[in-house]
Structure 1
């Protein structure tokens, strides 16, 4: 891999680690707002998977001579917090529409993470195998889609 390619991959991974930071915060919020539901229970598993994948991505970044950007991570955290201010039929309370929009956001972030794993597989970084993480994430995407379908029905039917 050329030094320019390594630099690009370091920037790419730092960006994705920031997205993952926002994804973690959003998943925690959705879990908290949907306590004692199948969605909340599922999101515990989802967060555990994120907790397993995040250090592995950090390790790849370190192997390439990079480190996560604290500024990007803080920005992602802030965007998630600001995203709570959207109007979903109620300014102060969680709504069925909030659930739909937040599940759509989680699905978008999970799909971006899946794309990142495919990119890392294509880069063929020595000592790393992203196939199992990708397969697990495919299952999570399917489950998120199922929860989103249910949330849409509840909010819009």
Structure 2
């Protein structure tokens, strides 16, 4: 296996752990609503994707990088410090930015599964990994969030600070 693939896997793993944390945080901020239920479903799916990814890494003999995971987690936490139109509370902009970031992460995950299956040749090396199902799951996650992302954007940009 190429050193480049191992580096790529470690980088993508750190990002996946970050998206998982973001999905869980967004879920917790929106409990008791339709969005909260959708985020719970997506957060569970992202957690399953991370487990699948870790299994792929294990089977290829690539260990996750604790340093990269820690740096990605720190970057995600630092990102929370940005202004959201309110000093200490969750705002409509906070909700939109979380959903927007999750949408970008899911789109990136679709690219990731394609890259691993096709460009890195893992579809042949790991024939029991269903890359088509992983791509489909990412598409379903995106479809689940899209109406809420759109609604949150309309609310955030129509809101008065």
TM-score, normalising length: structure 1: 0.91
- Secondary structure of 1:150's aligned partner: helix
Query: Could you list the runs of 4 or more consecutive aligned residues of structure 1 that deviate by over 3 angstroms after TM superposition?
Result: none
Determine the structure 1 residue equivalent to 2:126: 126
Does residue 54 of the first structure (1) align with residue 50 of the second (2)?
Answer: yes
Answer with 82-91 or 118-127: which moved more.
Answer: 118-127
TM-score, normalising length: structure 2: 0.89
Does residue 79 of the first structure (1) align with residue 79 of the second (2)?
Answer: no
| Partner Cα separation in structure 2 for residue 55 and residue 155 of structure 1 | 34
| Partner Cα separation in structure 2 for residue 51 and residue 88 of structure 1 | 27
- Secondary structure of 1:89's aligned partner: coil
**RMSD in angstroms over aligned alpha carbons?**
1.3
Q: 1:66 aligns with which of 40, 62, 65?
A: 62
Would you say how many aligned residue pairs link Structure 1 and Structure 2?
153
- Secondary structure of 2:146's aligned partner: helix
> Per-residue CA shift, 1:56-102, capped at 9, x if unaligned?
21121122221111111111111111111010111211100111111
Compute the displacement of 1:51 (Å).
2.1
Does residue 148 of the first structure (1) align with residue 149 of the second (2)?
Answer: yes
Compute the displacement of 1:132 (Å).
0.7
